[in-house]
């Protein structure tokens, strides 16, 4: 297909409702019942193009309504045309949530879906495929399992969606995606949605899409509009004590991120010892355990959900009061995805990050990406002195965090043409 994405007019003005986008009246009624009043920017731009059958590359951050940007056009076009819709997603949780979103729309048309994910038994999935679903939502590995056993025949696919494409590539799914795409009919509509635009996605676009239109809502590194951010500089051994103080200060649901599965388990144990309900979600947990954790978090059974980055893209829960980066992410871009789990759908939210005194470079990478300085906390009641007791409030941001008049920017980073100075955190600001 060999084509580069074309840039559409990305300055479309918001409209008051979904009318005028080309959506069928019956689907508009469903959206009304679901209390979907105003389209998000990605929905506003992508839905009309998708309804025309165009190939699309949609770039938008998490929590911006991407799922319905392709679910609405796919359902409407499959009602009009004979064929199958296929959606690929990186994680089990995300695939399940996409399936739930499709079912809300498909049910009114008597359309069926099948959700094919790893970690779940094969027989029920085979039974779902034998009922001739109109839409199949799958993780790449499990879809290939079904293809190899002739349970799924890709020759009837007329619409394909790659959701969270950058995450699928990060997780090593590129060979599986390439294999799946080779078996799909060339005459199809392809929609690719991603939070970032790495060169691998451009390669997919040039090899497997026809004159794709690019719709970009916010450049990479754009954080959720209504999320406030806060940074605590804290020694590793004091993180648990600071966590205890934060859980006492905030009273709503908390999504906590750990770098490793092993640490996630330890954190959950500590939180339970503090008297709070908590569960964990990561790749070592079975599908049943992960579903219980996610559903329990949604229902309020668990106040705190501890997650690793590999599971973070499947956590679509409204009303999360606080996202807490207990460990900074290895990849700065994951910071944006993490904190995007709060302040969703127009709500306010808050994100707190713990950084150890030796993580200055990690903080700088995040600040460079989001083009903003992370405000260091100055809450007196959360400040710890060297004995672990409440300390005194620090006043003002240290001079080393302010641009100087000598070619020095925040965190001691040199401006162009200036010699670099070694990074040092301001000593008065970390919590021992």
Taking the C-alpha atoms of residue 16 and residue 38, their distance in angstroms, rounded to an integer, is 6
* pLDDT given for residue 347 in this prediction: 66
In this prediction the pTM is 0.66
* pLDDT given for residue 65 in this prediction: 82
Taking the C-alpha atoms of residue 228 and residue 225, their distance in angstroms, rounded to an integer, is 9
CATH for the 6-216 domain, from 3.40.50.10190, 3.30.9.10, 3.40.50.300, 3.10.20.740: 3.40.50.300
- The pLDDT of residue 399 is above 80: no
Quickly state the pLDDT bin for 37 (edges 50, 70, 90).
confident
Taking the C-alpha atoms of residue 64 and residue 86, their distance in angstroms, rounded to an integer, is 21
- The pLDDT of residue 385 is above 90: no
* pLDDT given for residue 410 in this prediction: 38
Any idea where the domains of the chain sit in the sequence?
6-216, 227-431
Greater confidence (35 vs 224) lies with 35
- The pLDDT of residue 165 is above 70: yes
Nearest partner of 409 among 376, 377, 378, 373, judged by Cα: 373
Taking the C-alpha atoms of residue 41 and residue 66, their distance in angstroms, rounded to an integer, is 10
387: CB partners within 8 A, 6+ apart: none
* pLDDT given for residue 8 in this prediction: 52
CATH class label, 227-431: alpha beta
Nearest partner of 339 among 198, 429, 230, judged by Cα: 230
- The pLDDT of residue 343 is above 80: no
- Going through 50-183 in order, the beta strands assigned E by DSSP cover 56-59, 84-88, 113-116, 135-138, 157-162
**Are the C-beta atoms of residues 191 and 305 closer than 8 Å to each other?**
no
Q: What is the mean pLDDT of residues 281-286?
A: 84
Nearest partner of 84 among 135, 152, 128, judged by Cα: 135
Quickly state the pLDDT bin for 53 (edges 50, 70, 90).
very high
What average pLDDT is seen over the chain?
A: 81
Say which range, 15-19, 37-41, 146-150, has the weakest mean pLDDT: 15-19
Helix/strand/coil for 114: strand
pLDDT of 56-89, one tens digit each? 999 887 667 889 999 999 999 999 999 999 999 9
* Token pair listed for 137: 């939502």
DSSP code at position 414: B
Taking the C-alpha atoms of residue 133 and residue 241, their distance in angstroms, rounded to an integer, is 51
pLDDT of 80-125, one tens digit each? 999 999 999 998 888 998 999 999 999 999 999 999 999 899 999 9
pLDDT of 179-214, one tens digit each? 999 999 999 999 999 877 777 888 888 888 988 998
Say which range, 155-164, 220-229, 294-303, 355-364, has the weakest mean pLDDT: 220-229
């Amino acid at each position: 297909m060999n084509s580069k994405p074309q840039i559409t007019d990305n300055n479309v003005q918001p409209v008051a409702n979904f009318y005028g986008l080309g959506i069928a009246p019956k689907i508009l009624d469903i959206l009304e019942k679901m209390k979907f009043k105003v389209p998000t920017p990605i929905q506003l731009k992508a839905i009309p193009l998708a309804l025309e059958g165009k190939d699309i590359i949609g770039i938008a951050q998490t929590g911006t309504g991407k799922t319905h940007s392709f679910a609405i056009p796919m359902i409407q076009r499959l009602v009009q045309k004979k064929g199958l819709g296929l959606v690929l997603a990186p994680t089990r949780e995300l695939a399940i949530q996409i399936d739930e979103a499709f079912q809300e729309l498909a049910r009114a048309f008597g359309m069926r879906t099948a959700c094919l994910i790893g970690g779940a038994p094969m027989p029920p999935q085979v039974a779902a495929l034998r009922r001739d679903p109109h839409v199949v939502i799958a993780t790449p590995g499990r879809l290939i399992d079904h293809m190899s056993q002739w349970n799924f025949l890709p020759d009837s696919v007329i619409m394909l969606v790659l959701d969270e494409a950058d995450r699928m590539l990060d997780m090593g799914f590129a060979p599986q995606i390439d294999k799946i795409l080779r078996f799909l009919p060339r005459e199809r509509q392809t929609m690719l949605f991603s939070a970032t635009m790495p060169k691998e996605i451009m390669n997919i676009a040039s090899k497997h899409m026809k004159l794709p239109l690019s719709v970009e809502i916010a450049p990479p590194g754009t954080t959720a509009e209504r999320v406030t951010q806060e940074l605590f500089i804290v020694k590793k051994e004091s993180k648990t004590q600071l966590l205890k103080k934060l859980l006492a200060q905030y009273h709503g649901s908390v999504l906590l991120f750990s770098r490793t599965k092993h640490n996630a388990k330890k954190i959950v144990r500590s939180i339970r010892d503090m008297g709070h309900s908590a569960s964990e979600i990561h790749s070592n947990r079975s599908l049943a355990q992960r579903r219980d954790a996610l559903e329990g978090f949604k229902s309020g059974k668990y106040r705190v959900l501890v997650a690793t980055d590999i599971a973070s893209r499947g956590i679509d829960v409204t009303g999360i009061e606080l996202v807490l980066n207990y460990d900074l992410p290895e990849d700065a871009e994951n910071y944006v995805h993490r904190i995007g789990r709060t302040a969703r759908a127009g709500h306010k939210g808050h994100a707190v990050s713990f950084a150890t005194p030796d993580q200055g470079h990690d903080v700088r990478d995040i600040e460079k990406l989001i083009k903003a300085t992370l405000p260091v906390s100055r809450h007196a009641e959360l400040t710890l002195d060297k004995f672990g007791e409440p300390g005194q409030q620090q006043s003002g941001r240290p001079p080393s965090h302010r641009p100087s008049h000598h070619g020095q920017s925040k965190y001691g980073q040199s401006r162009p043409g200036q010699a670099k100075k070694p990074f040092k955190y301001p000593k008065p600001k970390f919590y021992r």
